[in-house]
Structure 1
């Protein structure tokens, strides 16, 4: 459900491995897949993958594993749309950014949802054409039927593991996104350019410190070397624009409410001040109004 770059990539690999896959996405995707299959561009080669695509939430009917990959702001509505069609024993996986989607989906569906941390670089070259740029591993939170679901991904050649430390992994990725996404979106600059600007890394370091304070208040241990990982990303992915920046440049709604905005809301519950995260959240929201 929500067959964008992430959903299409993993759907393609599962279909290649013989799984019966249905993508639920926009009409342009449905039409492209009906015409040419799903194009998967990976490792310098492009393959046409035969699978089903529909724009109807009823496409989840009969599925024993359902992947939710919609934008964070669409989680509750997506859950409402698929709820009448879900099989009683379906395993629900959230392959989404942010830290609250699993809770939102579970509350709306009234059943367990397994958060999955996604480490992949993909984009859509056009309707029904997904490009893979790197990585692809998945970390599943423990939960009912998590291990059998992960095993099916592994059978498709995907590095998928169930980990008791999945919450830390989810928060780690979330904190990294809080550091990069808003700054890249507001400046429309890639990570390497941001790092070269005096004061930018200092600002990001304060963002991280605020995230760590909120994580500690919520009982989530973050890795000691997290800042070093962030510095490394500015070199390893120097030309990368954040997903928030890409959304703004395309005139699409961003997920900032579920990144720096999430830190603002959670911090308020704990009586913690997070002025830089709050400022970045507010500034992106204002920038969206003029986009």
Structure 2
């Protein structure tokens, strides 16, 4: 294992990037950008930050195991001066964290929401106001934290981002850094497509603490996934969301590309953290109620994960004190 050195792109191409909520997703993209020579500051928890300050961020992939030097802080003020903020906090924290970073943002700083769920950009924008550009991103990557300052990458690593201030520049620079990035006018539909995939697998992986490949080998799981998809599609149609015709095939094809992946909800549950289930299956249930549509399967998964996370979260909170 060694310490990586950054490439030397032209100075005009360099961006200053802050990663707010530096978990697995933010750390992976932050590491890739730092390797390309961009100035990156990870903002996260104390143990995580201390490890990065001492050794750099450990990036472990199928091809390499390296330490990547970069800035790290526990303070929201570290977004000051950033050209781009990768907003990677849990969906449940969107409004609160947007309020924390607002005083430190420059008027032309792009806040790019790399989160689960479909409405984080709207919720962040409502807090930040019209003077601060916000764009949604759809994230396609399999990562997990293996310890403080240590991120593991299991596959993929692309972004789809909405048009906006700096979006074209970000797409060019991120792609050059090994993060294939496209600007799309249908990010909402893409977010919904990912939401359907998350609804199909996240709760099931969390409740069983098993990866996607194992899940779909079990009797009755694939028909259950079809019921989840049917409910999501009914809600999407009622909300006027255009989804691709091959979405069902894409949902069923996911375990072939990520057979060993545990969902982010499973990882949260295993660590005693509150999950984002209210912004996944719970969001579908919420929109369904507004449209008078029945979603019994999604509602059942919502309630079961809520029940499972409550004692774990309480135990974790008590241990922290």
CA distance in 2: counterparts of 1:139 and 1:177, whole angstroms: 17
Partner of 2:114: 95
The change in CA–CA distance for 1:189 and 1:43 in structure 2 (over 3 A counts) is: closer
Partner of 1:129: 150
Render the CA deviation track for 1:42-86: whole Å, top value 9, x for unaligned: 233222212110000000001111110011111111101101111
CA distance in 1: counterparts of 2:101 and 2:47, whole angstroms: 20
User: Structure 1: 5+ residue runs without aligned partners?
Assistant: none
TM-aligned CA deviation for residue 196 of structure 1: 2.4
CA distance in 2: counterparts of 1:238 and 1:148, whole angstroms: 34
SS in 1 for 2:117: coil
User: Structure 2: 5+ residue runs without aligned partners?
Assistant: 1-19, 313-321
CA distance in 2: counterparts of 1:245 and 1:84, whole angstroms: 34
The change in CA–CA distance for 1:81 and 1:180 in structure 2 (over 3 A counts) is: same
Q: 236-245 vs 93-102, which deviates more?
A: 236-245
What is the aligned counterpart of 1:39 among 58, 63, 68? 58
TM-aligned CA deviation for residue 94 of structure 1: 0.3
CA distance in 1: counterparts of 2:259 and 2:157, whole angstroms: 19
CA distance in 2: counterparts of 1:197 and 1:231, whole angstroms: 14
TM-score normalised by length of structure 2: 0.87
CA distance in 1: counterparts of 2:82 and 2:256, whole angstroms: 41
Render the CA deviation track for 1:98-139: whole Å, top value 9, x for unaligned: 111111111111133111011111112211111211111110
CA distance in 2: counterparts of 1:235 and 1:13, whole angstroms: 25
1:197 corresponds to 2:197: no
SS in 1 for 2:58: strand
Render the CA deviation track for 1:157-194: whole Å, top value 9, x for unaligned: 21011012222211111100001111121222222332
The answer to whether the Cα contact below 8 Å between 2:108 and 2:165 also exists between their aligned partners in 1 is no
TM-score normalised by length of structure 1: 0.96
Partner of 1:246: 267
TM-aligned CA deviation for residue 17 of structure 1: 1.2
The change in CA–CA distance for 1:237 and 1:12 in structure 2 (over 3 A counts) is: closer
Tell me the C-alpha RMSD between the 2 structures: 1.4
SS in 1 for 2:124: helix
Alignment of 1:45-194 (within 5 A): 45-111=64-130, 112-194=133-215
Alignment of 1:22-33 (within 5 A): 22-33=41-52
1:221 corresponds to 2:242: yes
The answer to whether the Cα contact below 8 Å between 2:228 and 2:297 also exists between their aligned partners in 1 is yes
CA distance in 2: counterparts of 1:171 and 1:2, whole angstroms: 23
Query: How many residue pairs were aligned?
Result: 291
SS in 1 for 2:136: strand
The answer to whether the Cα contact below 8 Å between 1:91 and 1:149 also exists between their aligned partners in 2 is no
The answer to whether the Cα contact below 8 Å between 2:135 and 2:161 also exists between their aligned partners in 1 is yes
The answer to whether the Cα contact below 8 Å between 2:76 and 2:101 also exists between their aligned partners in 1 is yes
CA distance in 1: counterparts of 2:134 and 2:243, whole angstroms: 23
The change in CA–CA distance for 1:46 and 1:197 in structure 2 (over 3 A counts) is: closer
